[in-house]
């Protein structure tokens, strides 16, 4: 999987759960700080990545990933 593919999965999922197509998300966006973002959305995103990328996060691992690029890095390491 390429970084762009992982990036698209994450960004699309965030836009989907927040029902907001117009929001700006870049590599340095801190996901937890997005307005309206809550722990339920976070589980949602984690599970989506697990299913779509065929990976597993350890308990507590996903919470450590702050920015979009942190997520892409970690997912990238796990799939490749």
> Is 64 an interacting residue with respect to another protein (CB under 8 A)?
yes
Q: Does 77 bind another protein (CB under 8 A)?
A: no
Closer residue to another protein in complex, CB, 12/51: 51
Alpha-carbon distance of 52 to 70, in angstroms, equals 18
Interacting positions 26-55 with another protein (CB under 8 A): 36, 38-40, 42-44, 46-47
Long-range contacts of 42-47 (CB under 8 A, 24+ apart): 44/13, 44/17, 45/10, 45/13, 45/14, 45/17
Backbone angles phi, psi at 25, to 5 degrees: -125, 125
Binds another protein by CB under 8 A, chosen from 22, 59, 77, 80 = 59
State the residues that interact with another protein by CB under 8 A: 19, 36, 38-40, 42-44, 46-47, 58-61, 63-64
């Amino acid at each position: 999987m390429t970084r762009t593919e992982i990036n698209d999965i994450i960004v699309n999922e965030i836009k989907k759960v927040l029902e907001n197509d117009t929001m700006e998300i870049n590599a340095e966006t801190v996901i937890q700080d997005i307005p309206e973002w809550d722990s339920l959305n976070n589980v949602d995103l984690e599970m989506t990545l697990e299913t779509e990328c065929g990976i597993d996060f350890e308990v507590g691992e996903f919470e450590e990933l702050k920015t979009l690029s942190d997520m892409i890095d970690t997912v990238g390491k796990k799939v490749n």
